[in-house]
Structure 1
Amino acid sequence: MVNDNDNGIATHDQQNGYNQVDNRTENEKAIDAWLPITSSRNAKWWYSAFHNVTAMVGAGVLSLPYALSELGWGPGVAVLVISWVVTLYTLWQMVEMHEMVPGKRFDRYHELGQHAFGEKLGLYIVVPQQLIVEVGVNIVYMVTGGKSLQKFHDVVCGDSCKHIKLTYFIMIFASAHFVLSHLPNLNSISGVSLAAAVMSLSYSTIAWTAALNKGVQKNVQYGYKAKSTVGTVFNFFSALGDVAFAYAGHNVVLEIQATIPSTPEKPSKGPMWKGVVVAYIVVAICYFPVALVGYYVYGNGVSDNLLISLNKPAWLIAMANLFVVVHVIGSYQVYAMPVFDMIETVLVKKLNFTPSFTLRFITRNTYVALTMFIAICFPFFSGLLGFFGGFAFAPTTYFLPCIMWLSLYKPKKWSLSWITNWICIALGVSLMILSPIGGLRSIIVQAKTYKFFS
């Protein structure tokens, strides 16, 4: 994966007020104008707001009451609040670093990694983790979309309909992506993204208001569900991963910022940060009520997807599940776009394929089909969240930005910036080590009773 910025920046940037010499050939300019991340740079700040909401408020929000039940009241609330603050801080760092070199833009996470750690090492550190996150999210969203469609079907039909396997619902959900994944770039999916952001706010509100309306359940218990200490500890670790998964927007933040125009007088970080702050306020409005109310009402009996715990009123729950489907369609696209960009960059720049509709058609459809197939094989929702959450989300969200910041800005030892970054790194590393352990155990436990292609 070549860092295109070494050759100067796309002509869009010259129009945007950067007058640096562009040393690239016409062919290279044409390729940059074709690739999904660099092809369009006319986004407004509110595009950044709803792309960020769509990327951040995943269906993970619905598993937060379950995570809270495994963490307990005190630790659970602390983990939620600390995660919100730490990830907002690391997101601010990434927005700042996007244009830290005058006249140059780090349009992709790995380009910033290459600037911080060197050409080769930067790629090896960032790309595998970013791919695990983005592909992992896409697989989990295939499962979520399928499960929500199934729930919608079951609620609307009641007992009068025949039971349909989850596999078929995942396929129905995937069919939307065989169409939508051919939208060329991030700006072109802004309409889908806006719909998704509105839906996420809607179903989060439905989830916690319906739970509150239901009232605290009889015999509700707030103790840990696992019978043994070992089980409790493993569940605690897994829940940490669920929370980490809930804050995964960092993996697409530079790519989103790349779509915003920039000049030396008006750098892109201004509108981008405005969008991020709005997005984080929406995130708080979605996350905290769902987590606290869901756990308060159901205690440790809450399902790993809050909407599955709620059955009445039927029309409202059916609607909420449909909202989840629309939202997850948008989220899938926001996370898939950087993956498409990576695949297409390698094919066109390294393997010298000609940029064409056919190339895009084959690669993108293959990717959608692959994520669909894996989702059908492994639909263990919460365990997958815990496993992926710690394994790759913790580094890219909680501490990689801090390491980059320390290596590039070199703040003074024991200064506030230095201390803050090291605290975030310590929290992130412990999260990365602990949560996959819990997540893997719950996958193993669930796998015992699971039948393939059920």
Structure 2
Amino acid sequence: MGKVGDESEYLRSELALLQFSDANSKSPISPLFIHIHDNDDQTSFDSESKPSSQEQQNEQQHPKDEWLPLTESRNGNAYYAAFHILNSNIGFQALMLPLAFSTLGWIWGSVCLSIAFIWQLYTIFLLIELHESVSGKRHSRYLFLAMSAFGERLGKVAALFPVMYLSGGSCVMFIITGGGTMKLLFKILCENDNGTTCGAHSPNGVEWFLVFTCLAILIAQLPNLNSMAAVSLVGAVASISYCTLFWSLSVKKGRPMGVSYKTTLVPQESTLVKISDILNAIGIIVLAFRGHNLVLEIQGTLPSNSKETSKEPMRRGVTISYILIAMCVFPLSIAGFWAYGNKIPSDRGLLTAFPQFHKQQVTKFSMGAIYVLVILHCLSSFQVYAMPVFDNLELRYTSLKNQKCPRWLRTCFRLFFGGFTFFIAVTFPFLPSLAALIGGMTLVPLTYAYPCFMWLAIGKPRTKGIVWWFNLVLGCLGMVLSVVLVAAAIRTLADKGLNANFFKP
């Protein structure tokens, strides 16, 4: 009896948190605690947890929101939102775009890039509308919105793994990229003009990963997402700066000898191989746009009341940020392909191509400055992507204890997450090689498909009207795109193999 009573109390606390929080899902159970229960039990919990009045609901709502790092502070503005979006959306994936152009060519590369840009921008505005889709309710977490739109079980099945991977997995990628860039920076600083080294001991890959993780966790001690606006500003400036430097310096230094703009598709290859290569190139373009799993969380930092919602400042923040994103992404693709053609390396794109072809033409200071900017951006983006994980950990605690997470425990949670991501980065340093496969399963549905289906479920446009058909077709195309990109990635891995260098970063 005691065990049953404890479980009942736990479920009641979970229901109380989510029922009166900013995510009122159909059957709101914590995403970290998946419980299968009978309908009769659920009915009894719902009847016991419902507030007797709207005032009682509001009274219980606000303290719960104030306990969690995503909604602890709602004093943000359009500029803060723009900082977070820029910091989370522009990344080193964009440096791979010229590689896609080497397969698709000028015309089809530009067409695919434009379609992907417009498509994902449309779904962002859908998420902004869905954030406050029902009067008095806010969906400040992507997973809770999915549960509201699709139901508890289907919402978790569809969104739990993608959301958790795009948060934790992205942080692992930042450790791998940031730690690897630190190693390159040390090599440049230690190398003399005659090509000899300065004799200083160079830390190995594990040690550089550890240095990066320690810096990231130190910055992560800021209490909530809104307090990280200055960090996101630094990350946004760094990302825009190194993207601009890569394409502008590549154009300025001139093209290497023998550059060709012919497609890398080999005429002698089979049709299946060609289709696979084309899909992989499209995947590079599609995966260059990210951050949709953070849009609702970022909007959750903006104030909202009965007179003014958070939609308008969020729209301004998205507009500002995506003008700057377009000014980075399109020149990176076009100018990068012009500078290197089909000589662009398949490993990290421009991050590898620029020092490979222009090392003798660029000063150590310039190359070091670019690497510093990449490191700063990885450190800053780590904070934004880790925040939903911190929020989920504290959600579990507040549900059990019905009180705010103490500062010492919050610090322990963040140290634990940092140690866990460090362990994964060291164990699987080849994770970037799986980006196309896992990205096709996670990022593509969350970015290109789910928002359209959510709009049909919650926005309820006129059935079989133009808007209804448009979103239905667009959502189905997004799911088809996810399937074909995963299939192409599996085929490529089966053909070329995988360098699974466990514990050898």
Q: Are residues 1:211 and 2:235 paired?
A: no
Cα 1:233/1:131, change in 2 over 3 Å = same
Contact 1:383 1:440 in 2 (8 A): no
Q: Extract unaligned runs of 5+ from structure 1.
A: 11-18
Aligned counterpart for 2:174 among listed residues 132, 138, 141: 141
Aligned length: 445
Cα 1:451/1:250, change in 2 over 3 Å = closer
Q: Are residues 1:100 and 2:139 paired?
A: no
Code of the residue aligned with 1:160 in structure 2: it is: T
The residue number in structure 2 matching 1:410 is 460
The residue number in structure 2 matching 1:389 is 439
Code of the residue aligned with 2:349 in structure 1: it is: N
Aligned counterpart for 1:81 among listed residues 109, 114, 118: 114
1:212-257 deviations in Å (ceiling 9; x for gaps)? 0122222113334465445544333333333232222110111111
SS for the counterpart of 1:160 is coil
1:269-298 deviations in Å (ceiling 9; x for gaps)? 000010011111111111111111111211
Cα 1:404/1:86, change in 2 over 3 Å = same
The residue number in structure 1 matching 2:498 is 447
Q: Are residues 1:400 and 2:437 paired?
A: no
Contact 1:114 1:120 in 2 (8 A): yes
The residue number in structure 2 matching 1:7 is 20
Cα 1:231/1:372, change in 2 over 3 Å = farther
Contact 1:8 1:21 in 2 (8 A): no
Aligned counterpart for 2:225 among listed residues 186, 208, 214: 186
Alignment partners' CA distance in 1, 2:343 and 2:401: 53
Code of the residue aligned with 2:397 in structure 1: it is: L
Please, which moves more after superposition, 208-217 or 415-424?
Answer: 415-424
Aligned counterpart for 1:436 among listed residues 457, 463, 486: 486
Aligned counterpart for 1:160 among listed residues 197, 211, 222: 197
Aligned counterpart for 2:353 among listed residues 309, 316, 322: 309
Please, which moves more after superposition, 92-101 or 293-302?
Answer: 293-302
Please, which moves more after superposition, 311-320 or 373-382?
Answer: 373-382
* TM-score w.r.t. length of structure 2: 0.81
Alignment partners' CA distance in 1, 2:95 and 2:169: 17
Aligned counterpart for 2:211 among listed residues 159, 167, 172: 172
Instruction: Give the Å deviation of 1:434.
Output: 2.1
**Equivalences for residues 111-126 of structure 1 within 5 A:** 111-126=144-159
Instruction: Give the Å deviation of 1:385.
Output: 2.4
Contact 1:37 1:338 in 2 (8 A): yes
The residue number in structure 2 matching 1:16 is none
Contact 1:241 1:387 in 2 (8 A): no
Contact 1:99 1:105 in 2 (8 A): yes
The residue number in structure 1 matching 2:422 is 372
Cα 1:137/1:198, change in 2 over 3 Å = same
**Equivalences for residues 20-419 of structure 1 within 5 A:** 20-23=54-57, 30-158=63-191, 159-161=196-198, 164-225=203-264, 228-229=269-270, 230-303=272-345, 304-311=348-355, 312=359, 313-314=362-363, 315-350=365-400, 355-380=405-430, 382-419=432-469
Code of the residue aligned with 1:380 in structure 2: it is: F
Instruction: Give the Å deviation of 1:141.
Output: 1.3
1:40-99 deviations in Å (ceiling 9; x for gaps)? 111011011110111110221112222332433333222211111011110001101111
SS for the counterpart of 2:57 is coil
Alignment partners' CA distance in 1, 2:116 and 2:386: 24
Instruction: Give the Å deviation of 1:106.
Output: 1.1
Alignment partners' CA distance in 2, 1:247 and 1:132: 16
Instruction: Give the Å deviation of 1:447.
Output: 2.8
Instruction: Give the Å deviation of 1:404.
Output: 0.6
SS for the counterpart of 1:412 is coil
Alignment partners' CA distance in 2, 1:164 and 1:69: 36
Code of the residue aligned with 1:35 in structure 2: it is: L
Code of the residue aligned with 1:260 in structure 2: it is: L
SS for the counterpart of 1:333 is helix
Contact 1:207 1:306 in 2 (8 A): yes
The residue number in structure 2 matching 1:14 is none
Code of the residue aligned with 1:447 in structure 2: it is: L
Cα 1:103/1:353, change in 2 over 3 Å = closer
1:287-316 deviations in Å (ceiling 9; x for gaps)? 111111111211122122312211231322
Instruction: Give the Å deviation of 1:376.
Output: 2.1
Contact 1:136 1:388 in 2 (8 A): no
Alignment partners' CA distance in 2, 1:338 and 1:97: 19
Instruction: Give the Å deviation of 1:395.
Output: 0.8
Structure exhibiting the larger radius of gyration computed from Cα positions: 2
Code of the residue aligned with 1:199 in structure 2: it is: A
Contact 1:411 1:418 in 2 (8 A): yes
SS for the counterpart of 1:325 is helix
Alignment partners' CA distance in 2, 1:386 and 1:319: 29
State percent identity of aligned pairs: 33
Alignment partners' CA distance in 1, 2:138 and 2:499: 49
SS for the counterpart of 1:447 is coil
Contact 2:186 2:202 in 1 (8 A): no
Contact 2:149 2:454 in 1 (8 A): yes
Contact 2:126 2:451 in 1 (8 A): yes
Cα 1:376/1:6, change in 2 over 3 Å = same
* TM-score w.r.t. length of structure 1: 0.90
Code of the residue aligned with 2:353 in structure 1: it is: S
Alignment partners' CA distance in 2, 1:44 and 1:395: 29
Instruction: Give the Å deviation of 1:187.
Output: 0.8
